[in-house]
Structure 1
Amino acid sequence: MKVYITILMLGCMFLVFPQQQKTYFDSQITQHLKAYKAKSEIALQHGDKEQAEFLFDSLFENHLKFSHLRDFSLNKVKGGTLKTSSIGKPFLLITKSSWEQIKDEEINEINRMSKMYKGQIEIIVLFWDSKEKAKLHSKDYNSNVIITYVDERDNNANHIIKPFKHSFGAPACFFFSEEKQLLKIDKKFTISNESSRSEVAFNAIHEKIKWMLFSDEPTNEDIITTLK
Structure 2
Amino acid sequence: MRRFLLTMLFTLSISFSYSQDTINYFSDAIRKNTKSYTKASNKAYERNNIKEGKDLFDSLVKNKLVGTKFDDFNLKVYKEKNVKINRINKPIFIITYASWCVITKGEIPALNILAKEHRNDMQIIVIFWDKKSDIKNIAYKFSDDIKVCYANENYTKDAHLVATIKHTLGFPTSIFIDENKNVVNIKHFENTIKLKTPIKQAIITSYNYFSKDINENLVHAVSNNKGFTTN
TM-score (norm 1): 0.81
- Distance of aligned partners of 1:193 and 1:205 in 2 relative to their CA distance in 1, 3 Å threshold: closer
Please say if residues 89 and 121 of structure 1, whose CA atoms lie closer than 8 Å, have aligned partners that are also in contact.
Answer: yes
1:210 Cα deviation after fit: 2.9
| Alpha-carbon distance in structure 1 between the residues aligned to 2:78 and 2:159 | 19
Q: 1:160 to 1:130 in 2, by over 3 A?
A: closer
Name the aligned partner's letter for residue 23 of structure 2. Answer: K
Q: CA deviation digits over 1:98-131, x for unaligned, max 9?
A: 1111234000000011111111100011111111
Matched, 1:191 2:194: no
Matched, 1:90 2:91: yes
Distance 1:63 1:48 in 2: 22
Counterpart position of 1:68: 69
RMSD of aligned residue pairs (Cα, Å): 2.7
Map of 2:229 onto structure 1: none
User: For the Cα contact (< 8 Å) 1:70–1:160, is it kept in 2?
Assistant: no
Cα separation, partners in 2 of 1:168 and 1:78, compared to 1, 3 Å: same
Size of the alignment, in residue pairs? Answer: 210
Question: Structure 2: which amino acid aligns with 1:145?
Answer: I
Partner Cα distance (1:89, 1:162) in 2: 25
- Return 5+ residue gaps in structure 2 as ranges: 225-231
Aligned-partner SS, 1:136 = coil
Q: Which residue of 2 aligns with 1:102?
A: 103
Residue 216 of structure 2 aligns to a residue whose secondary structure is: coil
Residue 157 of structure 1 aligns with an amino acid whose one-letter code is: D
SS of match in other structure, 1:22: coil
Q: Percent identity?
A: 25
Gaps of 5+ in 1: 217-223
Aligned residue in 1 for 2:156: 155
Measured after TM superposition, the shift of residue 40 of structure 1 is 1.6
Q: Which structure shows the bigger proportion of residues in helix conformation?
A: 2
User: What is the TM-score with the length of structure 2 in the denominator?
Assistant: 0.80
Q: Is the 8 A contact 2:193 2:202 kept in 1?
A: no
CA contact (8 A) 2:105 2:202 kept: no
- Report what 1:220 is aligned to: none
Structure 1's consecutive aligned runs of 4 or more residues displaced over 6 angstroms after TM superposition are: none
Q: 1:104 to 1:43 in 2, by over 3 A?
A: closer
